[in-house]
Structure 1
Amino acid sequence: MNDPIAAGTPAEAFPPPGRDLESTVERLELLEAQVQALGQAMRALVQGLEDIPDREPDPERPGRAARLAHELMLAQGL
Protein backbone atom coordinates (compact mmCIF):
# COMPACT_ATOMS: atom_id res chain seq x y z
CA MET A 1 0.00 0.00 0.00
CA ASN A 2 1.54 3.35 -1.09
CA ASP A 3 -0.98 5.69 0.56
CA PRO A 4 0.95 7.61 3.29
CA ILE A 5 -2.26 8.76 4.99
CA ALA A 6 -3.54 5.19 5.25
CA ALA A 7 -0.11 4.21 6.59
CA GLY A 8 -0.61 6.48 9.62
CA THR A 9 1.11 9.70 8.46
CA PRO A 10 -0.98 12.76 9.41
CA ALA A 11 -2.73 14.43 6.46
CA GLU A 12 -1.45 17.86 7.62
CA ALA A 13 2.11 16.78 6.78
CA PHE A 14 1.34 16.75 3.06
CA PRO A 15 0.49 19.80 0.93
CA PRO A 16 -2.77 19.68 -1.03
CA PRO A 17 -2.39 17.95 -4.40
CA GLY A 18 -1.05 20.26 -7.09
CA ARG A 19 0.28 22.85 -4.65
CA ASP A 20 3.93 23.18 -3.81
CA LEU A 21 5.65 25.16 -1.08
CA GLU A 22 6.32 28.17 -3.32
CA SER A 23 2.67 28.55 -4.28
CA THR A 24 1.75 28.26 -0.61
CA VAL A 25 4.18 31.07 0.25
CA GLU A 26 2.76 33.20 -2.58
CA ARG A 27 -0.78 32.59 -1.37
CA LEU A 28 0.22 33.52 2.19
CA GLU A 29 1.87 36.75 1.00
CA LEU A 30 -1.24 37.63 -0.99
CA LEU A 31 -3.44 36.93 2.03
CA GLU A 32 -1.24 39.12 4.24
CA ALA A 33 -1.46 41.99 1.73
CA GLN A 34 -5.23 41.62 1.54
CA VAL A 35 -5.58 41.65 5.34
CA GLN A 36 -3.44 44.80 5.49
CA ALA A 37 -5.62 46.46 2.83
CA LEU A 38 -8.76 45.53 4.74
CA GLY A 39 -7.24 46.97 7.91
CA GLN A 40 -6.46 50.24 6.13
CA ALA A 41 -9.98 50.37 4.71
CA MET A 42 -11.48 49.79 8.16
CA ARG A 43 -9.26 52.50 9.64
CA ALA A 44 -10.41 54.95 6.94
CA LEU A 45 -14.06 54.13 7.67
CA VAL A 46 -13.66 54.51 11.43
CA GLN A 47 -11.85 57.82 11.07
CA GLY A 48 -14.56 59.07 8.73
CA LEU A 49 -17.33 58.14 11.14
CA GLU A 50 -15.84 59.33 14.42
CA ASP A 51 -16.77 62.74 15.77
CA ILE A 52 -13.98 65.19 16.44
CA PRO A 53 -14.98 67.29 19.46
CA ASP A 54 -13.21 70.53 18.50
CA ARG A 55 -14.54 70.62 14.90
CA GLU A 56 -17.88 71.29 13.33
CA PRO A 57 -19.50 68.14 11.93
CA ASP A 58 -18.70 67.61 8.25
CA PRO A 59 -21.62 65.85 6.55
CA GLU A 60 -19.39 64.84 3.64
CA ARG A 61 -16.71 63.21 5.78
CA PRO A 62 -18.31 59.73 5.98
CA GLY A 63 -18.77 59.67 2.21
CA ARG A 64 -15.13 60.58 1.60
CA ALA A 65 -14.05 57.89 4.06
CA ALA A 66 -16.21 55.30 2.32
CA ARG A 67 -14.74 56.23 -1.07
CA LEU A 68 -11.21 56.00 0.32
CA ALA A 69 -11.95 52.59 1.85
CA HIS A 70 -13.39 51.42 -1.44
CA GLU A 71 -10.36 52.66 -3.38
CA LEU A 72 -7.99 50.91 -0.95
CA MET A 73 -9.84 47.64 -1.43
CA LEU A 74 -9.96 48.02 -5.22
CA ALA A 75 -6.24 48.73 -5.34
CA GLN A 76 -5.64 45.36 -3.67
CA GLY A 77 -8.08 43.59 -5.95
CA LEU A 78 -10.70 42.98 -3.30
Structure 2
Amino acid sequence: MTHDTSPSQPDVALHPTGRDVESAVERVELLEAQVQALGQAIRALIQGLEDIPDQEPDPERPARAARLAHDLLLAQGL
Protein backbone atom coordinates (compact mmCIF):
# COMPACT_ATOMS: atom_id res chain seq x y z
CA MET A 1 0.00 0.00 0.00
CA THR A 2 1.48 3.33 -1.05
CA HIS A 3 0.48 6.82 0.01
CA ASP A 4 0.35 9.73 -2.37
CA THR A 5 2.73 12.35 -0.94
CA SER A 6 2.06 14.97 -3.60
CA PRO A 7 0.33 18.10 -2.29
CA SER A 8 -3.38 18.03 -2.95
CA GLN A 9 -5.38 21.01 -4.13
CA PRO A 10 -7.50 22.61 -1.40
CA ASP A 11 -11.27 22.55 -1.87
CA VAL A 12 -11.50 26.26 -1.12
CA ALA A 13 -9.51 28.79 -3.09
CA LEU A 14 -7.20 30.96 -1.02
CA HIS A 15 -8.14 34.00 -3.08
CA PRO A 16 -11.81 33.77 -4.11
CA THR A 17 -12.83 35.40 -7.35
CA GLY A 18 -16.03 36.39 -9.09
CA ARG A 19 -19.22 35.23 -7.42
CA ASP A 20 -17.35 33.98 -4.34
CA VAL A 21 -16.15 37.51 -3.62
CA GLU A 22 -19.66 38.90 -4.14
CA SER A 23 -21.03 36.27 -1.79
CA ALA A 24 -18.44 37.11 0.84
CA VAL A 25 -19.21 40.83 0.53
CA GLU A 26 -22.93 40.12 0.92
CA ARG A 27 -22.29 38.03 4.03
CA VAL A 28 -20.11 40.73 5.57
CA GLU A 29 -22.74 43.38 4.85
CA LEU A 30 -25.40 41.18 6.46
CA LEU A 31 -23.22 40.65 9.52
CA GLU A 32 -22.57 44.38 9.77
CA ALA A 33 -26.31 45.09 9.67
CA GLN A 34 -26.96 42.43 12.31
CA VAL A 35 -24.26 43.80 14.62
CA GLN A 36 -25.69 47.30 14.19
CA ALA A 37 -29.18 46.01 15.09
CA LEU A 38 -27.79 44.24 18.15
CA GLY A 39 -26.07 47.46 19.20
CA GLN A 40 -29.31 49.41 18.84
CA ALA A 41 -31.20 46.79 20.86
CA ILE A 42 -28.60 46.88 23.63
CA ARG A 43 -28.67 50.69 23.65
CA ALA A 44 -32.48 50.61 23.99
CA LEU A 45 -32.24 48.18 26.90
CA ILE A 46 -29.59 50.24 28.67
CA GLN A 47 -31.58 53.44 28.28
CA GLY A 48 -34.67 51.68 29.61
CA LEU A 49 -32.83 50.53 32.71
CA GLU A 50 -31.06 53.82 33.44
CA ASP A 51 -32.29 55.99 36.27
CA ILE A 52 -32.80 59.61 35.28
CA PRO A 53 -31.97 61.72 38.32
CA ASP A 54 -34.38 64.60 37.68
CA GLN A 55 -37.40 62.41 36.82
CA GLU A 56 -39.71 60.22 38.82
CA PRO A 57 -39.08 56.49 38.30
CA ASP A 58 -41.28 55.06 35.56
CA PRO A 59 -42.09 51.41 36.29
CA GLU A 60 -43.12 50.88 32.65
CA ARG A 61 -39.87 52.20 31.18
CA PRO A 62 -37.93 48.89 31.28
CA ALA A 63 -40.84 47.06 29.64
CA ARG A 64 -41.04 49.64 26.84
CA ALA A 65 -37.30 49.38 26.33
CA ALA A 66 -37.51 45.59 26.13
CA ARG A 67 -40.32 45.81 23.57
CA LEU A 68 -38.31 48.31 21.52
CA ALA A 69 -35.23 46.07 21.65
CA HIS A 70 -37.33 43.10 20.61
CA ASP A 71 -38.87 45.03 17.72
CA LEU A 72 -35.44 46.16 16.53
CA LEU A 73 -34.20 42.58 16.49
CA LEU A 74 -37.31 41.31 14.73
CA ALA A 75 -37.02 44.01 12.08
CA GLN A 76 -33.52 42.73 11.30
CA GLY A 77 -34.70 39.14 11.25
CA LEU A 78 -32.83 38.14 14.39
State TM-score, norm by structure 1: 0.80
1:34 aligned partner: 34
The residue that corresponds to 2:14 in the other structure is 13
Spell out, residue by residue over 1:9-54, the C-alpha distance to the aligned partner (whole angstroms, 9 max, x if none).
Answer: xx78255xxx711111000000000000000000000000000000
Q: Which letter maps to 1:13? A: L
Distance in 1 (CA, whole Å) between partners of 2:53 and 2:60 is 17
* RMSD, matched Cα: 2.2
Secondary structure at 1:69 match in 2: helix
Could you say which residue in structure 2 is the equivalent of 1:25?
A: 25
Q: Which has the greater radius of gyration?
A: 2
Separation in 2, partners of 1:31, 1:54 = 39
Name 1:56's counterpart in structure 2.
56
Structure 1 equivalent of residue 3 of structure 2:
none
Unpaired runs of 5+ residues, structure 1, are 6-10
In the other structure, the counterpart of 2:75 is 75
